Structure 1
Amino acid sequence: MTEQEARAGAREWAGLAVLVLPCLLASMDMSVMFITLPSLAADLGPSGSEQLWIMDSYGFLLAGLLITMGTLGDRFGRRRVLLAGAAAFGVASVLAAFSTSPGTLIAARMLLGVAGATLAPSTLSLIRSMFHHAAQRATAVGIWTAGFAGGAVLGPIIGGLLLEHFWWGSVFLINVPVMVLLLVLGPLLLTEHRDPEPGRFDLLGAALSLVSVLSIIYGIKAMAEHGPGWLPVACCVAGLAVGAAFLRRQHRAAHPMIDMKLFRTRRFTVPLFIDALATFGLVGFSLFNWQFMQLVLGMGPLESALWSLPTFLVMPLGIALATALAPRIGKRNVIAAGLLVATAGYVLLTLLQADSGIVHLVVGMAVVSIGIGAVSAVVTEVILSAAPPERAGAASAMAETSAEFGGALGIAILGSIGTTVYRSELATTAPGALTPKELEAAQSTLGGAVETASALPEGTAESLRNAAFDAFAQEARIASVVSAVLMAGAAVLIATLLRTGRTRPGPDTSESAAEHHDGDRAADAPSRAVSP
């Protein structure tokens, strides 16, 4: 029986359920801090710099170590790395929950980031090893995608519910029972998989990849928060230089962390780029989404989190449609269709006004979510299928890293464009009674405008709030236009770069055939067709 014909049984599907849970929690830990920060700040009293490290240290280390952890899984066993990461994640969660100082919490968050970096590539590469049948693997990847995306939405909701009844540390303690469950059920349901000939681990390469990713992500985030300056620009330039050194080393290494041959085929590089673009718009626009609900519409953190729930609930619809349609119309066409659906959602958001109300925002984001859900599920499965099974961990890590970069760039670029638009609009529409200092504070952020208005006479305050809300709505509309153009461009990209003649798929479909025939059909062929 060929790999293409082998179908997963009950054990594999039960194992998938176990794999989705840690991914959901790892994703939750990135978003739960938005609603938890005020409570822990009141208790621990961190400085402004310490608050930034509490927020960002987890995501920085997670992004920086994805490639390393994916490679470690390939070499030493994906189940082993996953279980070690789960144990570390549980311990770090307890340390975070009972932290008594900002420094302790930052250290715990950093350990959570290190452990979290093992979860995504290990779980995704185990799915690649457990589900050999293309249709089953597509379904499994879709479920995994929904779990990972759902964690980001559920984080603020669950965090808000816990903070209603318990102290801030409870948002970390919910991780512990899930990790214990993984440690118990993992050895029973998950089969160990590794590269049979892993070679020597490239420690210097791992260090270069970490420094490169951390430097670039830090520089992008710093520019998003404070605008372009010499330090963030220098960090990005240094990160790119170190990244170039890392890639040169991978070309020359006898046992590279990343199989550079994968980048010679569009079946791998184009989906990576599309994944980054999809995350760019979704994560970047979340900046406006949350502020619109809380500042313009006046919702509390929990209420706004609950209103964001529909975007999570409809995402499985997009994933299910993509999984069902891909075998019939081709993965390339499904990805292009998903991008066009996301484009329609962003076009709807270009009509957003300050007085539009929550329904307009939620419907627009729901349409975007359906499209991006379809794209992410199929793109991730294509990336996995393009890599040989022994390199599934590294391929999974590359997929997650591209998404991290896309999200960071979305925040930085859309945030910078939006800030410029907001300041320009408010400069012409703000009440003339404002002092230069008050106008400067109002132009800094929408939150600054609301705070400034609270200290003004009622008439002037109302005029300032209306002007600020209108300027922010214009900011969101411009961000929607940029996102819509990018999604439409990505649809054209996937349709042209992977647009080739049809061929009958088969187990002997070669990489050459994948390039010169239908790329998405060839991706269904066994991954052994890719030269290792």
Structure 2
Amino acid sequence: MVKAGRREWLALAVLVLPVLLISVDMTVLGFALPYLSEDLGPTGAEQLWIVDIYSFVLAGLLVLMGTLGDRVGRRKLLLAGAVAFGIASVFAAFAPNATLLIVARALLGVGGATLMPSTLSLIRGMFLDPAQRRIAIAVWGSGFSGGMALGPVLGGWLLEHFWWGSVFLINVPVMVLLLVVGPFLLPEARDPNPGRFDPLSAVLSLAAVLPVVYGIKRFAEYGVEPIAAVSALAGLAIGVVFVRRQRRLKDPMLDLDLFKHRAFSASVLTNMLGVFAMVGLLFLVPQYLQLVLGLRPMTAALWLLPTTVAGVAGSLAAAKLARRFPVRWLIGAGLLIAAAGFTTLIGVGVDSGLALLVTGMALVGFGVPLSETLTNDLIITTAPPERAGAASAISETGFELGGALGTAVLGSIATAVYRSGIPADAAAPAHETLGGAVATAANLPPSEGEALLDVARASFVNGVQISAIVGAILLAYTGVQAFLLLRQRQPAQTVPSA
């Protein structure tokens, strides 16, 4: 087995850069919203689109872009995506109104969709040795999990020193660096016999994913209501049409035979459920830190840094431990560790709980990346080398859907529990969110405001506790499921021992 040299490891460092930025972009905008809202004055609907359009477009285009990379070349697609991402970042930073900022965020989603599958599939081609490949995927995963936690910290610092557009401009020098060194360090890779491209399949893939993601997001915002249900069902129906078309085509855009491999399908499902729990938790924890414990945004972000460190440690530990222990044991163990973290969060309270929160978050931050490093390895090694881009895109689509579902389901559970604890005579904003209760309390007499805050904070904490119970059960189930489904040994030439 040919081992990677210094050139490949330098190329890996280049590939981590776009992954880091894409994950930072997922979390940094939350801190900039109050500032850009004051400057641009978006409506409530426009503000939601500014936040959501990025993930909508990213999720909808991943499968198409992964397949496109297999056809035209993954390095070529990666560099084209870097150009698009850099231009869109400048466009977003200087957007004069909310409408153009929404357009810029959509273009960022297009660029992100070209970057994500290309990075993981190129790793498959550069690192042929299984042990080195796991380390490379661990580093790649560390960039992703680290970026998600770095976003709030970086955003807080930038907004204290510059205007809101700076959170987008940080992308530009990194993309320029990628464009300068990428052609020299990154190898080109493509499917030598891609077959005929089917435009209708491309349209169907986008039309299937976008309504499902939109329905999930709308469900998270408004609960069970007709538009969310119709949107999700329409997307699923189009998805059925897409699948049937792929089965009939001689050269399908999505190779459904990949799902016949237990290691592939079980790993995609495990990835999605792990991200479901972790992203749902990241939706609730910043609110707890700021609105319940009263921490400043920058201070709250710093308390999340142990989660980042744990994530990097979990990813790197996976690569080392896989040399000594069966992969399925490690995947199951990682998810059970994360389940223990959720169980710890059940004890978080209104007046105390910072130590429990940091401990629980660290366990989740360690366990989920540990398992996902190994499942990502299984996903890209199960697929034939020429289909690595499509396989990576399926993995990333599952990640996006898992994140959307996590926010929708765990966020909705917490919101429902919160609303059930708010007095019926409280003002409408106080019924909607804890942030609304804080704003309402500021306009009430001190005694009434304090009473409302006490009830609202207690209700929010109850919601977090119930969500933690659901997350613990889900992760425990996922860990056991992964252990059982990955029990069957796959062929040595396609899948590492599980």
Distance apart, 1:29 and its partner CA = 1.3
Q: Is the 8 A contact 1:45 1:102 kept in 2?
A: yes
Match of 1:331 in 2: 327
Separation in structure 2 between the aligned mates of residue 81 and residue 484 of structure 1, nearest angstrom: 39
Distance apart, 1:437 and its partner CA = 4.7
Separation in structure 2 between the aligned mates of residue 129 and residue 266 of structure 1, nearest angstrom: 22
Separation in structure 2 between the aligned mates of residue 418 and residue 68 of structure 1, nearest angstrom: 35
Separation in structure 2 between the aligned mates of residue 394 and residue 426 of structure 1, nearest angstrom: 48
Match of 2:430 in 1: 442
Sort the Cα spacing of 1:23 and 1:216 in 2 relative to 1 into closer, same or farther, 3 A. Answer: same
Matches within 5 A, 1:199-214: 199-214=195-210
1:9 aligns with 2:11: no
Match of 1:483 in 2: 471
1:181 aligns with 2:157: no
1:468 aligns with 2:456: yes
Instruction: Single out whichever of 372-381 and 77-86 deviates more from structure 2.
Output: 372-381
Give the residue type in structure 2 aligned to 1:184.
V
1:241 aligns with 2:237: yes
SS in structure 1 opposite 2:269? helix
Give the residue type in structure 1 aligned to 2:476.
A
SS in structure 2 opposite 1:499? coil
Separation in structure 2 between the aligned mates of residue 323 and residue 509 of structure 1, nearest angstrom: 18
Give the residue type in structure 2 aligned to 1:133.
D
Distance apart, 1:418 and its partner CA = 1.4
1:23 aligns with 2:11: no
Separation in structure 1 between the aligned mates of residue 53 and residue 295 of structure 2, nearest angstrom: 28
Separation in structure 1 between the aligned mates of residue 20 and residue 430 of structure 2, nearest angstrom: 38
Match of 1:432 in 2: none
Distance apart, 1:375 and its partner CA = 1.0
Separation in structure 1 between the aligned mates of residue 360 and residue 480 of structure 2, nearest angstrom: 22
Give the residue type in structure 1 aligned to 2:459.
A
1:521 aligns with 2:497: yes
Distance apart, 1:99 and its partner CA = 1.1
Q: Is the 8 A contact 1:96 1:172 kept in 2?
A: yes
Match of 1:526 in 2: none
Match of 2:415 in 1: 419
Separation in structure 2 between the aligned mates of residue 38 and residue 510 of structure 1, nearest angstrom: 52
SS in structure 2 opposite 1:46? coil
Identity %: 53
Instruction: Single out whichever of 22-31 and 136-145 deviates more from structure 2.
Output: 22-31
Match of 1:509 in 2: 492
Give the residue type in structure 2 aligned to 1:444.
E
1:154 aligns with 2:150: yes
Match of 2:191 in 1: 195
Match of 1:527 in 2: none
Matches within 5 A, 1:196-345: 196-345=192-341
What are the Cα deviations for residues 455-511 of structure 1, in whole angstroms up to 9, with x where unaligned?
A: 2222222222112111111110110000000111011111222224x7xx9xx7377
Give the residue type in structure 2 aligned to 1:401.
T
What are the Cα deviations for residues 368-411 of structure 1, in whole angstroms up to 9, with x where unaligned?
A: 10001101111111111111110000100011110111111111
Separation in structure 1 between the aligned mates of residue 153 and residue 485 of structure 2, nearest angstrom: 40
Sort the Cα spacing of 1:262 and 1:49 in 2 relative to 1 into closer, same or farther, 3 A. Answer: same
Separation in structure 2 between the aligned mates of residue 356 and residue 256 of structure 1, nearest angstrom: 55
Distance apart, 1:238 and its partner CA = 0.2
Match of 1:451 in 2: 439
What are the Cα deviations for residues 29-69 of structure 1, in whole angstroms up to 9, with x where unaligned?
A: 12111001111111111111111111111111011100011
Distance apart, 1:169 and its partner CA = 1.1
Distance apart, 1:412 and its partner CA = 0.9
Matches within 5 A, 1:69-108: 69-108=65-104
Distance apart, 1:344 and its partner CA = 0.8
Separation in structure 1 between the aligned mates of residue 230 and residue 352 of structure 2, nearest angstrom: 41
Distance apart, 1:312 and its partner CA = 0.5
Separation in structure 2 between the aligned mates of residue 282 and residue 346 of structure 1, nearest angstrom: 10
Separation in structure 2 between the aligned mates of residue 498 and residue 51 of structure 1, nearest angstrom: 43
SS in structure 2 opposite 1:32? helix
SS in structure 1 opposite 2:193? coil
Instruction: Single out whichever of 454-463 and 58-67 deviates more from structure 2.
Output: 454-463
Matching residue within 51, 58, 62 for 2:58: 62
Separation in structure 2 between the aligned mates of residue 266 and residue 344 of structure 1, nearest angstrom: 27
Match of 1:433 in 2: none
Report the TM-score when normalising by structure 2: 0.97
SS in structure 2 opposite 1:447? helix
Q: Which segments of 5 or more consecutive residues in structure 2 lack a partner in the other structure?
A: none
Separation in structure 2 between the aligned mates of residue 187 and residue 454 of structure 1, nearest angstrom: 56
Matching residue within 169, 189, 201 for 2:165: 169
Q: Is the 8 A contact 2:348 2:354 kept in 1?
A: no
Separation in structure 1 between the aligned mates of residue 2 and residue 397 of structure 2, nearest angstrom: 30
Matches within 5 A, 1:368-447: 368-427=364-423, 436-438=424-426, 440-447=428-435
Distance apart, 1:275 and its partner CA = 0.3
Q: Is the 8 A contact 2:347 2:353 kept in 1?
A: no
What are the Cα deviations for residues 250-291 of structure 1, in whole angstroms up to 9, with x where unaligned?
A: 111111111111111211111111001100100011121011
Matching residue within 130, 138, 143 for 1:142: 138
Instruction: Single out whichever of 46-55 and 355-364 deviates more from structure 2.
Output: 355-364
Give the residue type in structure 1 aligned to 2:279.
V
SS in structure 2 opposite 1:426? coil
What are the Cα deviations for residues 63-94 of structure 1, in whole angstroms up to 9, with x where unaligned?
A: 11000110010011000000000011111111
Q: Is the 8 A contact 1:438 1:452 kept in 2?
A: no
What are the Cα deviations for residues 422-467 of structure 1, in whole angstroms up to 9, with x where unaligned?
A: 222334xxxxxxxx55254422211122222222222222222112
Larger radius of gyration: 1
Query: Which runs of 4 or more aligned residues in structure 1 lie more than 4 Å from their structure 2 counterparts after TM superposition?
Result: none
Distance apart, 1:360 and its partner CA = 2.0
Distance apart, 1:310 and its partner CA = 1.4
Give the residue type in structure 2 aligned to 1:228.
V
Separation in structure 1 between the aligned mates of residue 422 and residue 167 of structure 2, nearest angstrom: 38
Count of residues in correspondence between the two structures: 498
Report the TM-score when normalising by structure 1: 0.91
Sort the Cα spacing of 1:350 and 1:389 in 2 relative to 1 into closer, same or farther, 3 A. Answer: same
Separation in structure 1 between the aligned mates of residue 235 and residue 217 of structure 2, nearest angstrom: 13
Give the residue type in structure 1 aligned to 2:434.
L
Separation in structure 2 between the aligned mates of residue 178 and residue 510 of structure 1, nearest angstrom: 37
Separation in structure 2 between the aligned mates of residue 510 and residue 57 of structure 1, nearest angstrom: 40
SS in structure 1 opposite 2:422? helix
Separation in structure 2 between the aligned mates of residue 292 and residue 402 of structure 1, nearest angstrom: 28
SS in structure 2 opposite 1:328? coil
Matching residue within 18, 38, 41 for 1:42: 38
1:132 aligns with 2:128: yes
Instruction: Single out whichever of 128-137 and 153-162 deviates more from structure 2.
Output: 153-162
Q: CA RMSD in A?
A: 1.5
